[in-house]
Structure 1
C-alpha cells in the first residue's frame, strides 16, 4: 500500500486494527499531549480525535508509535529502499543476488518530485488561530506544530535539487507574535534551512518558506532523515513513498505539497522575536530566545484535513521510533560515511545528541608492542565533523579488534569495556569553546560549550570492582555512594551554586579527597548527582542524568589531575559533575490535574480504557 495522502493512511490503519477513533471531546492544552504520551508507552494504536476543543480539525496521534506500525506503513517500498542502501555499500551484490533488487528501479524512478498544476491542499483556507493549538507541557510558550515539514529552496539555485525539508519547531501562538500574521520558526545549528537563510541574507532577498502538515507519511519521515547535503529530503521521500511526490509550483512561488493536509506559506522577516519556552526531547525546557519570524501569507487545507501531532520529552517518546527506524535503514551505511567506523549509536536515553557510542578500528601501527588510540581519535573527530553526529557532545569510541562481539546497544558491556582500557592521562580529548546543540543548556552559552572524544583500546588496564571499596569516605556535603554497573560510583553532591562557565570548588575538594584514598583502581568513574538513588536505579536514568546535565570541559574533574602542553588528564578516578546546575533549564513535569483527567478517560467505561 502506497499512501498518497492522510486519508488513505488512516483508513488503512483502521482496517488493520491499528487506529481507534476517540469521539469524546479532548483539550489540545496539555490533555491531548498527556494522552499521546501514555498511548505511546502502552504500545497503543494510533488515535484519531474527532472532537478537539477550540478547533474544527480532527487531530491524530501515535501514527509512528511502534516499530511494527512504522514498518507496516512503509511495507510496500521498504525492501526497495533497503536495496538502494545495500547497493551503495556493495554495488556488486546486484550481480550476486539480482532478485533482491526487483523494486529498486521503481524507487529510483519515484525519487524525483512531479510538478503538477493543482492539488487538494488548495481546496480551503484558514487562519492560524483556527488551527489546533497543541500545548504539550505546562510552561510551553504557546501552541506548536510538532510534526511539520518545513520546506525551503536555495535562493541562489532554486529547484528541488537544492531544496531542504526539515522538522523545525513552529510556534503558532504566543505573546510576541501578531495574531494570524506571524509564527515563530526555531531551527537549530547545522540545519539546511540555515544555509538557505544565509544565502538569502547575502543576496538581499527574503527567504520563502512552506510548512506542510500531514500528507504522504513518507514526507514526515523524510523531514527527520539525516541525509547528506547533496540528497534532498523530498527526493528521499519519493523513494520511500514508492511514487513521485506531487508538488504544485505556481509561477515563481515555492512549490506546495499537492496532497498536504495543511500548508502554512510565508516569508522569513528581517527581525527576530522571542520563541519558547518549549518542552523538548532532552527532557528539559528550551527557554525563550530570539529566533526568526515567519510572516504568514496563506494557510491552505484540503477537505477532510487531519492534523497529525506528537509530543517530545524525556526519552523514550514517539520520536524514539523515528531514530530506531532510521538506524535500521542506515546501519549498513556507517562504514561508507565514516571510514574505519563499524557501528554508532546516538543514545536515545541520553537525549540523542549528548552521547554517541561508537565502535571503530585501530590499524594505524599494527606492529606496535602496545596498542593505543590513534585511528580511533581520527574516527572520533570525523564523527564530530560530519552529518548529525557532529552535534554529539560526548563521543565514546573503542576498537572492534579488542572485542568483536561488542555492541553499542549493550550499555553495561560497552562501559565496562571502556573503563577497563582507558588511560585517563592519555585518552580524553577535549574540544573547548565550540558549537553544541541548541537545546543543550550545559555549555557556556546558547550554542556554545565543549565536546569530548573518549577513546579506549588495547589490553585491560584494570579489573573493575563489583562492590564499593570498604574504606571509601567522602568529604562534607557528599554522601549516599552506591556502585552502579561495574566500576562506576554514583553519589549525592551538594546543591550546585557556581556560575556558568566556572568550575565548582566543591568538586575539586572531592577530587583531592579521592586522590588521597588508596584502593580505588577498580572504581575509575565517579558520577555526582542530586539524587544518587534515582541516577543509579537503571541505565536509562544513569545515561539521562550523567550526559544531559554535564559539559565535558566544565564538569569533568579527576584525582591527580594535570595539564601538560594543553592536554588534560588525571591519574584517577575520573569525576563527572552531573548535578542540575544553577543555570540549567528546568526538567519537564506533568500537570497533576491533567493526569487525573486522563486517568478518568482511561478508567473502565472510559473512551480510552485499555489504551492509556
Structure 2
C-alpha cells in the first residue's frame, strides 16, 4: 500500500498516462520552473526532466499538479485516514458503525516508523554543488530546494515522538554561503523547528537537522501538514503512506528515511547569513534577511535518485493542491480544534495567510432581541491563537445562525455579500496592532510584525448593497477610475504611494472626507484603492490578491466617516482599504520574457510540450 519512493510513484503515473518525459536539455536556472508553472496552469501531467543542463540528476515536477492526481497517489489510504481522524473526534462512531473502522488499527500500526540499519539513500555520497540548483525566478538569490522535508528532534526529548518535519526553505547556493559546507535554512515564525532550535540554544548545543528530498510521497505530504504541536509528522506519514516508514538509524545522528532520494545532513550553527531573495507563494519576492546557517556534514543519495521540485508564485500554483487536499482531510476536525467554529477557509487566491474566512456560532445571548458578535469574537481569537490560522491577517467571521442553507465561506462572492450586508462598521472591526504576522508578508511595519483585523458580522441586515455608482462624487487629485466590482464593493485608482513604512497616508483620509457627501456611498461599505483599478476589478482572484496582500489593516484602513472612540476605530459609512503597492513592499514576481519564448518554442509543433501548453 502506498508508494515507497519517487520512482515507484512516477512509474505508476506513467502507466496512467500522467507522466511526460522531457529528454531535451533544460536549464534548472529559471527555464525548468517556467515550464512547470505553465504545465500546471494548463492542467498538464507530471514531468520528468531527464537531461538537466550541467547536472547528473533527473528532476521531476508537477507530481501533485491536480487534485485528481493527489487523490490517486494516496488512494489506498485517504479514506481510512479520514476515518481515523473522525474516530479521534468521536470514538462513539466506532461503536455505532464498527464496520467502517475495521481498518483503523492497521492504519494506526502504520504510523510507527520502522528502524533499519541501512537503505538505498545511503548508497552514495555527493556534495551540495552537484545537486540540482533550481532557480525559479529572475531575482532569486541562488539555487533552492522547494520540496524539502526538514527533520529535527527535540534536544530535550529526542526520538520520533519529539520530532518535527517541516517544509522550510533551503538555499543551496549564492549569497555568502561557503560552497559545499553551508546552506541557508529559512524557517518562518510559528514553526515546529523553532521550538527545537530554542531548546538547543538553551542547552548551548547545535541543532542537528536532516533535509530529505524525495522518497515516499507521504513524507512530502507530512511536511506540509499543519498538525497540532506535539503530534509528530512522521506518524502521519506512515498513516497516509499506508506503510511503516523505514528509517535508517545512525549512531550520534538523526534517522534518515531509507527510501529517500537525497539527504543533506548537518547542524544549525550559531551563525546567521543573508538568505534570499526568493519568489514566494504570495506572488512577491521575499527579500534577503539573516537566517540560520546549516553546516553540512554529509550529502547522501540513492543510485536511481530523482530530484522532485515545484515552483511557487502568485496562487494558484502546485502548492494549492496541497492546501485543497489538506482541507479535505481536516474539515471535520475544525469544530474540535476550534470550539464554536464550523468551517474555515484560508483563501488561496489571497496567499493563504493574509485572508481567513470563517463561520462560527453566536449563542452567548440567545434571548437578545438583536444578535451581535460576541461568541464570534471568542471564536476569532481562538483562530488567531492556535495552529497555522494564528498567522492570519484578516479574519472575516459570520454567524452560522444567520446563514441560509447552502451558504458557506467557501463561496467567496456570496460570503462577502453576507458579511457586508450585516457588519456594523461602527462596532464590528477589531484590530490587533503591532503583533506577529507571516514572515513572507511585507505589508506590515517590519519583518514578522504588523497588525490583524477581526471583521465580524451577526444579526439582521444593516444595509442594502448597491451596484450603481454613487452620484455627486468628488475625488481628491490623483484618485480616479471608480468602478463597481461587486454589490457593495467599489474600486478606484489612487496616486502612487510615497509614504515611509509605518506611516498612514493623509491623502486617504482626505478621500474619506470627500466621499462622505457622495450620494449612495452607504451602499458600498467596502472601498479599495489600487494602483490599477481595471486589473483589480477584472475578477475575484485579482481582487483578493491585490486587496489582502498589499494592505496592513492598522496602517492601510481608512473610513468614510472614520472615527476613534475610547481606542476603538470604526467608520460611519464605509471602510477604505489602501491596496496600493507601497514604497517598502517587495516587488511582484514577473517572468523572464526570453525564457517564456523558449518555453513557447517547446510547446510548438514538434516540441515536447506540444498539445500541453
| Length-normalised TM-score, structure 1 | 0.99
Instruction: Name the counterpart of 1:225.
Output: 225
Q: Distance in 1 between matches of 2:173 and 2:187?
A: 17
Q: Distance in 2 between matches of 1:157 and 1:93?
A: 34
Instruction: Name the counterpart of 1:462.
Output: 463
Q: Distance in 1 between matches of 2:134 and 2:185?
A: 16
Instruction: Name the counterpart of 2:55.
Output: 55
Instruction: Name the counterpart of 1:192.
Output: 192
Of 330-339 and 517-526, deviating more is 517-526
> Do the aligned residues in 1 keep the contact of 2:437 with 2:448 (CA within 8 Å)?
yes
Of 423-432 and 558-567, deviating more is 558-567
For the pair 1:452 / 2:453, whether they are aligned, the reply is yes
Q: Distance in 2 between matches of 1:42 and 1:63?
A: 14
SS at match of 1:149: strand
Instruction: Name the counterpart of 1:33.
Output: 33
Instruction: Name the counterpart of 1:488.
Output: 489
For the pair 1:323 / 2:327, whether they are aligned, the reply is no
Q: Distance in 1 between matches of 2:442 and 2:549?
A: 9
Q: Distance in 1 between matches of 2:612 and 2:170?
A: 29
Q: Distance in 2 between matches of 1:47 and 1:5?
A: 16
For the pair 1:129 / 2:168, whether they are aligned, the reply is no
Shift of residue 175, structure 1, vs aligned partner: 2.7
> Do the aligned residues in 1 keep the contact of 2:142 with 2:172 (CA within 8 Å)?
yes
Instruction: Name the counterpart of 1:74.
Output: 74
Unpaired segments of 5 or more residues in structure 2?
A: none
Shift of residue 518, structure 1, vs aligned partner: 3.6
Q: Distance in 2 between matches of 1:230 and 1:191?
A: 12
> Do the aligned residues in 2 keep the contact of 1:282 with 1:439 (CA within 8 Å)?
yes
Shift of residue 97, structure 1, vs aligned partner: 2.3
Instruction: Name the counterpart of 2:499.
Output: 498
> Do the aligned residues in 1 keep the contact of 2:149 with 2:223 (CA within 8 Å)?
yes
Q: Distance in 2 between matches of 1:477 and 1:542?
A: 21
Instruction: Name the counterpart of 1:100.
Output: 100
Shift of residue 520, structure 1, vs aligned partner: 1.4
Q: Distance in 1 between matches of 2:212 and 2:228?
A: 22
Superposition map of 1:411-430 within 5 A:
411-430=412-431
For the pair 1:377 / 2:377, whether they are aligned, the reply is yes
Superposition map of 1:390-401 within 5 A:
390-401=390-401
Shift of residue 516, structure 1, vs aligned partner: 2.9
Shift of residue 245, structure 1, vs aligned partner: 0.6
Instruction: Name the counterpart of 2:175.
Output: 175
**1:267-297 CA distances to partner (integer Å, 9 max, x unpaired)?**
1111100000000000000000000000000
Q: Distance in 2 between matches of 1:491 and 1:517?
A: 14
> Do the aligned residues in 2 keep the contact of 1:481 with 1:489 (CA within 8 Å)?
yes
Corresponding pairs, count: 612
Superposition map of 1:103-118 within 5 A:
103-118=103-118
> Do the aligned residues in 1 keep the contact of 2:471 with 2:518 (CA within 8 Å)?
no
> Do the aligned residues in 1 keep the contact of 2:470 with 2:519 (CA within 8 Å)?
no
Superposition map of 1:493-532 within 5 A:
493-532=494-533
> Do the aligned residues in 1 keep the contact of 2:10 with 2:19 (CA within 8 Å)?
yes
> Do the aligned residues in 2 keep the contact of 1:514 with 1:573 (CA within 8 Å)?
no
Shift of residue 98, structure 1, vs aligned partner: 2.1
Of 159-168 and 561-570, deviating more is 561-570
Q: Distance in 1 between matches of 2:573 and 2:296?
A: 57
Q: Distance in 1 between matches of 2:415 and 2:68?
A: 28
> Do the aligned residues in 1 keep the contact of 2:358 with 2:409 (CA within 8 Å)?
yes
Q: Which runs of 4+ in 1 moved over 3 A?
A: none
Q: Distance in 1 between matches of 2:489 and 2:8?
A: 51
**1:473-522 CA distances to partner (integer Å, 9 max, x unpaired)?**
31211000000111100000000001100100110110111123343111
SS at match of 2:522: coil
Q: Distance in 1 between matches of 2:443 and 2:175?
A: 27
Shift of residue 89, structure 1, vs aligned partner: 2.6
Q: Distance in 2 between matches of 1:180 and 1:610?
A: 40
| Length-normalised TM-score, structure 2 | 0.99
For the pair 1:120 / 2:120, whether they are aligned, the reply is yes
For the pair 1:298 / 2:292, whether they are aligned, the reply is no
Q: Distance in 1 between matches of 2:284 and 2:5?
A: 34
Q: Distance in 2 between matches of 1:96 and 1:269?
A: 53
SS at match of 1:24: coil
> Do the aligned residues in 2 keep the contact of 1:394 with 1:451 (CA within 8 Å)?
yes
SS at match of 1:559: strand
> Do the aligned residues in 2 keep the contact of 1:80 with 1:102 (CA within 8 Å)?
no
Superposition map of 1:167-316 within 5 A:
167-316=167-316
Shift of residue 13, structure 1, vs aligned partner: 1.1
Of 242-251 and 148-157, deviating more is 242-251
Q: Distance in 2 between matches of 1:2 and 1:425?
A: 54
Cα RMSD over matched residues?
A: 0.8
Shift of residue 103, structure 1, vs aligned partner: 2.1
> Do the aligned residues in 2 keep the contact of 1:79 with 1:103 (CA within 8 Å)?
no
For the pair 1:553 / 2:548, whether they are aligned, the reply is no
Instruction: Name the counterpart of 2:434.
Output: 433
Q: Distance in 1 between matches of 2:463 and 2:69?
A: 45
SS at match of 2:535: helix
Of 212-221 and 467-476, deviating more is 467-476
Instruction: Name the counterpart of 2:604.
Output: 603
Shift of residue 408, structure 1, vs aligned partner: 1.1
Shift of residue 564, structure 1, vs aligned partner: 1.4
For the pair 1:534 / 2:553, whether they are aligned, the reply is no
Q: Distance in 1 between matches of 2:479 and 2:403?
A: 36
Shift of residue 112, structure 1, vs aligned partner: 1.1
Unpaired segments of 5 or more residues in structure 1?
A: none
> Do the aligned residues in 1 keep the contact of 2:470 with 2:518 (CA within 8 Å)?
no
**1:317-340 CA distances to partner (integer Å, 9 max, x unpaired)?**
000000000001100110010000
> Do the aligned residues in 1 keep the contact of 2:346 with 2:353 (CA within 8 Å)?
yes
Instruction: Name the counterpart of 1:574.
Output: 575
Q: Distance in 2 between matches of 1:103 and 1:290?
A: 47
